[in-house]
Amino acid sequence: MRNLLLLLALCSPLLQAQDAPATAKKLTVLIKPAKPFVFDKNGAPAGYSIDLWKRVAEESHLTFDLKPVATVPALIDGLKAGQADVGVGALSITAERETLVDFTHPFYKSGLQILVNAGSAPSPFRAFLRLDVFKILGILLIAILINSHILWFCEKKKNPESFPENYVEGILNAMWWSVCILVTLGCENIAPTRIMGRLLGVVWMLAGVALYSYVTATLTSTMTVNTLQSDISSVADLQGLTVGTIEGSSSVEFLKASKLTPTTYPDVDAACRALTAGDIKAVVYDAPLLKYFLSTNPGTKLQLVGDLFEKQDYGFALPEKSPLRKDINRALLKLTEEGFLDELDKKWFATTTAPAAP
C-alpha cells in the first residue's frame, strides 16, 4: 500500500499537467482592423471585437498577445499554418471559410449593403436616358421624313403653293406641316388638297395623337418615379458600373459571383474616398462598418440604399479542431446571457442603426 501511495504521489504532477487546459500557454491572437470592431486608438487596439475578446479571455483565464494583420486571408493563413491561435475582427462566417478554419458561436449579425453618392440623384435628363428617348425620337424623325416625302410626292404637281416642286423647299414645307400636325393638329398656311394627301393627313393626325400622348405620359411617369428613387437600390442595378469593396472580404467573392468585377481598397475610408471622388459608383460591404463610417463622418455626402442582403454573422476564427473552441463558446454564451453584448452595441453603435446581436 505504501508503494502504491508513493507511486500516486509521483504521478500526480503528470496527471495534473495532462488535465490542465491546453490554453495555459500565452496565445497569439491575430487582429484584422475593421472599424469599429478592431482599430488602433492612441497606439493600442480598440473596438467592439477587442472589448469582447478581452472579456472572453478573462472568463476563460487566457493570456494572449495581439498581432495585427492586413487582410482576412492573411489571418486565415496564419491560423491554418499554426502560427496563431485565434483570429479577431469583423470576420464573417461563410461556408468557404469554414473549410479552412473553425469559428466560434456568432456574436454579431451582419450583412452587405450598398453605399452610393447622395449627390447623384437622377435628373430629368437621366430619366430621358433610362427611357431610351433618343431612340424614340430617332424613330419619330424617320416617320416624319417618310410622311413628308409621301406628302410632297402626292401634292407637288397640283399644290405647288404649299408644297413646291423644288425638292429642298418642298420637303422642308412637308416636314413643317408634319411637325405642326403632330404637335398642334393643325397648320394654317400649308394644307394638302389632293385626296391622297388628305387621307395621309388624317392617318398622320391619328398616329401623331397616339404617339405624342404615349411619349408625354411615359416621360412624365418615368421622371416622376426616378426623382423619388435612387439609380441604385439593389445588386441588379450595379451591372455595368464600377463597384468598390474591401480587399480580402467576403463581399469580393459575392460580387464576383454576381458577375461584377470589384475594385478593392485596403479599408472603408479608402473606398469611401474613391466613391466621393467619383472613381467608383458604389461601395458594397458589411452594413455595420458602412453605418459606422457614416455616423463618424457626418459631413460626407454618401448614403446607404436598398435592403440588407447576403446576411452573415461575425465570429472568432480558430484553427481546425482547436481545444479553445468549447471554452470560448461557453464564455460567449455567458456574456450574452449577462447582457454584455447589448452593452457593446450601445457603446459602439449608439449613433447608428446597425443590427444588434441576438
Q: Is the pLDDT of residue 216 over 80?
A: no
pLDDT at residue 358 tops 50:
no
pLDDT tens for residues 26-36?
999 999 998 89
Q: What angle do CA 146, 148, 150 make, to 5 degrees?
A: 70
Q: Cell numbers at residue 159, please? A: 399644290
Question: In the chain, pLDDT over 90 holds for what percent of residues?
Answer: 40
What CA dihedral angle connects 337, 325, 47 and 33, to 10 degrees? -150
**Which class would CATH give 22-107+315-349?**
alpha beta
pLDDT beyond 70 at 166: yes
Q: Where are the alpha helices (DSSP H) in the chain?
A: 2-19, 48-59, 72-80, 95-98, 124-130, 133-155, 167-184, 195-228, 250-257, 268-277, 287-296, 325-337, 340-349
Find the mean pLDDT for residues 1-26: 50
Instruction: Assign 351 a pLDDT band (cuts: 50, 70, 90).
Output: low
Higher pLDDT, 317 or 197: 317
Among the residues of 185-232, which ranges form H helices? 195-228
What is the per-residue pLDDT for 132? 57
pLDDT at site 8: 46
Q: CA 273 to CA 268: how far, in whole Å?
A: 9
Shortest CA distance to 241 belongs to which of 123, 120, 128?
120
For residue range 278-308, what is the model confidence (pLDDT) as tens digits? 899 999 999 999 998 988 888 888 989 888 8
**Domain 124-228 fold:** Helix Hairpins (1.10.287)
Residues 6+ apart with CB under 8 A from 319: 79, 80, 82, 84, 85, 101, 102
Contact 143, 235 (CB under 8 A): no
Task: Provide the residue ranges of all domains of the chain, joining segments of one domain with +.
Answer: 22-107+315-349, 117-121+233-310, 124-228
Cα dist from 151 to 120, 187, 189, 200, whole Å: 46, 14, 16, 7
- Assess whether pLDDT exceeds 70 at residue 222: no
Q: Is the pLDDT of residue 12 over 60?
A: no
pLDDT tens, 170-205? Answer: 888 888 877 877 776 666 677 677 777 778 777 777
47 DSSP 8-state letter: S
Identical fold at 22-107+315-349 and 117-121+233-310?
yes
Q: Indicate if the pLDDT at residue 123 is higher than 70.
A: no
The CA distance from 326 to 332, in Å, is 10
The pLDDT, as a whole number, for residue 45 is: 94
Look at strands 243-246 and 39-41 and give their pairing: unpaired
pLDDT higher than 70, residue 143: yes
Q: Which of 12, 201, 30, 216 is nearest to 131 (CA)?
A: 216
pLDDT of residue 218 exceeding 70: no
Q: What was the pLDDT predicted at 221?
A: 62
Region 2-12: mean pLDDT is 48
Q: Which residues contact 248 (CB under 8 A, 6 or more apart)?
A: 71, 72, 73, 74, 264
Return the pLDDT at 144: 84
In this structure, of 19-23, 93-97, 149-153, 243-247, the range with the lowest mean pLDDT score is 19-23
Is residue 356's pLDDT more than 70? no
Q: How confident is the model at residue 10 (pLDDT cuts 50, 70, 90)?
A: very low
Give 237-253 as a 3 state SS string.
Answer: HHCCCCEEEECCCHHHH
d(CA 8, CA 6): 5
Mutual orientation of helices 340-349 and 48-59 as an angle, nearest 10°?
Answer: 160
If one compares 180 and 347, the residue with the highest pLDDT of the two is 347
Give yes or no for residue 124 having a pLDDT over 70.
no
Structure confidence at residue 333 (pLDDT): 95
Q: Is-contact 107 340, C-beta < 8 A?
A: no
pLDDT class for 136, splitting at 50, 70, 90? confident
Place of cell 500565452: 26
Choice among 7-21, 49-63, 101-115, 187-201 with the minimum mean pLDDT? 7-21
> What is the second-level CATH architecture of the domain 117-121+233-310?
3-Layer(aba) Sandwich (3.40)
